[in-house]
Chains A and B, each alone.
Chain A
């Protein structure tokens, strides 16, 4: 009898759980480039509002805007600035997306142009001897992402002008594997989000068209492979829960950390509050908060 009671209880509990959670479901669609960021942000937002659920269909930025215009979606993701055809929608800048062209540190090249990068990835240039400054005379091993994920689409649109990469490009499963391939092969060239490059001595980011790949240059949009990821909302009666979510994405330090981890550049997020270890104290210098060792009080005799 006991066992049966327990089973009955378990079944009842299972049936009750969905009924008690008064969940809000928010529907979005649009950019495939923004999808990995959004999925990570949706996950992170669960800590703030566990009752909000998201459904995001990556059907392309233009399709997403149409969905918002027709009322099918409550918000859309888009990676291009507004066009005249987007009437009836509001664009909100979410965060920035920057992509670095990376090579192995054994490669002495420091600068590459967008056209040269395109030639490598379309199979026109195949040897490093075309770049005398690289001091290499080996066959180039270009690596990139498979068609999943935003970095591939971003690279395709902004470097290859939407032409598919040549068969010389090894398509890898994740951004981390691209970084690994470039780290382990002196002849390799790849592309990675800023998060992979910063503070990593085994991966060298090239300047593109003379502009170094750094957050400061991405924020000013000076760096060629940088762009805003926008949230698109209907002009009339936008959903309040969606607006709260976008506020959280734009301003909270937690969302900023998630964006940076996924390979983007947080544009408006506040810096995370600095926590200092015992024996250290906060000190402001040049607008940055740092932890400084507390001075020990001198013993008096």
Chain B
């Protein structure tokens, strides 16, 4: 028996590997069960809203704010519940703001990360890295306040002209709260997250690959762009997915600067399109949370949450699928 006894059990009798393995396994299992329960609960509570509207839920029609108001008021005792909702303006707003911010943040983060990893002098790198990590952890309310106190008044008073305001005066008011303010603040919010993950990816590229290219006489920029950036593509996908998820779920900041009107900004309006107010899904849940006590409103809010939850899940699946072919010659991320 003594010959068969595992040596590590003697070395650490209190926390043998096997016990730690089981404990951590149980914790992960509990986490998965929690996620599954969350999905089931949200979808079950959201069901009445989807069932009453069918595919029309995702379509356009009527004024979303008036529909939400009617749903809320129908929750009074003795009233017949109303569920009619056409959530297109909210979906479109979420798509525009998230998409705009992710594209802007991706392009700028890519170049900032390349600079920070390869081209910045050591003293600047020593300054840049902690700053970016600090920015990535700033709470979104702070960005929202900056947007409301600085960016929105600037846009409203100095950028948007009186003619532009008057041109849509009967439909929406252009006072600075709008698409461009939301996209800019959201970009500033998610870019540090992207830069941090991108630079981690770029740093893991084996230096031998770069040295080989440099030894062949290829210049520094071309070497880095063609080899390091290509190799680190899985990290770019991972960073973008994470940042997009944060952008999708952002509520407080967007409720503060996006204008909070259930309106779908119309690209056909030209430049004015950029200034038009709207309200994304997460901000809608936040600004209607008082209605949770009314059953039809609760179902509607859970339906909005379900759409967010499912799109976040699809997003990480898409990220996983996009990473597979890139991993072949690349790094793991």
A contact set with B: CB distance below 8 Å: 32, 35, 57-60, 62-63, 66, 123, 126-127, 138-143, 146-149, 164, 167-173, 177, 180-181, 184-188
Contact = CB atoms under 8 A, between A and B. Distances in A.
A75 B204 CA distance: 64
The 4 closest A-B CB pairs, nearest first, are A146-B287, A141-B175, A184-B153, A126-B169
B173 interface: yes
B75 A171 contact: no
Contacts of A168: 169-173
B162 A147 contact: no
B287 A173 contact: yes
A169 B261 CA distance: 7
Contact of A123 (B66, B76, B162, B170): B170
Interface in B246-285: 252, 255-256, 259-263, 277, 279
Interface stretch (B31-39, B122-130, B288-296): B288-296
Contact of B68 (A147, A172, A186): A147
Nearest to B176: A185
B287 A138 contact: no
B280 to A, nearest CB: 13
Given A59-B294, A167-B261, A185-B156, A146 B255 contact: yes
Nearest to B175: A141
A69 to B, nearest CB: 11
Contacts of B165: 138-139, 141, 187
A129 to B, nearest CB: 11
B134 interface: no
B288 A167 contact: no
Nearest to B72: A147
A171 B260 contact: yes
Nearest to A187: B175
B12 to A, nearest CB: 15
Contact of A148 (B63, B65, B148, B289): B289
Contacts of B255: 146, 173
Contacts of B169: 126-127, 139-140, 168
A141 B155 CA distance: 13
Nearest to A36: B290
B153 to A, nearest CB: 4
A80 B253 CA distance: 35
A151 B85 CA distance: 25
A187 B164 CA distance: 14
B287 A171 contact: yes
Nearest to A148: B290
B263 A164 contact: no
A62 B78 CA distance: 11
Given A170-B277, A172-B256, A180-B149, A138 B162 contact: yes
Contacts of B174: 139
Given A147-B68, A173-B286, 6 more contacts: A139-B166, A141-B156, A167-B261, A171-B261, A181-B177, A185-B157
B76 A59 contact: yes
B77 interface: yes
A173 B170 contact: no
B69 interface: yes
A169 to B, nearest CB: 7
A139 B173 contact: yes
Nearest to B89: A167
Given A59-B77, A62-B76, A32 B290 contact: yes
20 contacts: A32-B290, A57-B293, A62-B76, A63-B77, A138-B165, A141-B156, A147-B72, A164-B65, A167-B63, A167-B263, A168-B172, A170-B175, A170-B260, A171-B260, A171-B261, A172-B256, A181-B148, A181-B175, A185-B175, A188-B175
B173 A141 contact: yes
Given A126-B169, A167-B263, A185-B176, A146 B288 contact: yes
A142 B72 CA distance: 23
A284 B312 CA distance: 65
Contacts of B68: 147
Interface string B66-106: 10110010011100000000000000000000000000000
Contacts of A60: 75-77
B166 A127 contact: yes
Contacts of B262: 167
Contacts of A58: 290, 293
Contact of A167 (B171, B289, B291): B171
